[in-house]
Amino acid sequence: MNEQNTDLKIPATNEIEKNKKKITFNSPILIFIVIQTLFIVFLGHNHWTKYVKFSQGEKIQDVVKAEMENLELPVGHPASDKKKFVADSILFPLESIIANLTQTDGHQRFVRLTAVLKFTKSSNEKEIKGNVIKIKDIIITFINAKRAEDLFTAEGKKNLKEKIIADVNAILYKSKLMTVYFIDLQIN
């Protein structure tokens, strides 16, 4: 009988306590994981609500149309019939463009430009969208050749618009760019 008892080992209470400690969770780590999970859920929810709010917000085209409808034009102006002026065109917003200016004073300067292009109603939207890269290249190339002083004046901005209109119309076949609206033009 003694031989049977020696073969069968009953674990000591210390070993049972050690095994229990291995199975139990460390409470500070568990709390940290729960807080991290709640934080991630909060951030995801916050980003989702901002996305939904932004996607339901006003588009640049809507803002420009509203501004054009509120624009006070002098009597006899070719666009004095505001409803016709807005309805007879396609407004195409460009994403912000950042381009370096020519260095003159030793400081590197750049321009950030956001614009809306106004095309005739008969313009082909597929052609416009297909040439966005070329349109941006035209704008960047022209800005790269200018100095900051050239764009500070009203005449410089007018020249920029005229150059954009002329060069964009040169690459389009079925579409015609009527004018350019600068939404944001910052020179650093």
Give the DSSP letter of residue 101. Answer: P
Q: State whether 35 and 121 are in the same domain.
A: no
Give me the number of domains the chain comprises.
Answer: 2
Picking from 56, 79, 100, the residue at the C-terminal end of a domain is 56
Considering the domain architecture, whether residues 25 and 87 belong to the same structural domain is answered as: no
HSE-up of 73 (CA within 13 Å, CB side)? Answer: 15
Q: Determine contact, residues 164/99, Cβ cutoff 8 Å.
A: no
Q: What is the pLDDT of residue 40?
A: 92
Q: Which of these, 185, 183, 187, lies nearest to 91 by C-alpha position? A: 183
Amino acid identity, position 146: K
| One domain, residues 113 and 78 | yes
CA 139/CA 165 separation, integer angstroms? 10
Q: Could you give the 3-state DSSP secondary structure of residue 96?
A: coil
Contact 184, 113 (CB under 8 A): yes
Beta bridge partners of 144: none
> Are 20 and 92 found together in one domain?
no
Same domain, 93 and 168: yes
pTM over 0.75: no
Type of residue found at 172: L
Residues 46 and 70 both lie in one domain: no
Domain termination residue (choose one: 41, 56, 71): 56
- pLDDT for 87 equals 60
Q: What is the pLDDT along the chain (188 residues), one digit of tens a residue?
A: 455 555 556 655 666 565 555 555 577 888 888 899 999 999 888 888 887 777 666 666 566 666 666 655 555 555 545 455 556 788 888 888 888 888 777 778 888 888 888 888 888 888 988 989 999 999 888 888 888 888 888 888 888 889 999 999 999 888 889 888 888 888 87
Both 50 and 64 in a single domain? Answer: no
Rounded Cα distance between 66 and 120, Å, is: 18
Residues 93 and 44 in one domain: no
Same-domain check for residues 110 and 128: yes
Per-residue tokens: 113: 């430009």
Q: Assign residue 159 the CATH number of its domain.
A: 3.30.479.30
Task: Say whether both 107 and 179 belong to one domain.
Answer: yes
Instruction: Say whether both 38 and 116 belong to one domain.
Output: no
Classify 124 as helix, strand or coil: coil
Q: Which structural domain, as residue segments, surrounds residue 48?
A: 2-56
pLDDT, position 35: 92
Handedness of CA 154, 138, 145, 112 (dihedral sign): positive
For residues 100 and 166, state if they share a domain.
yes
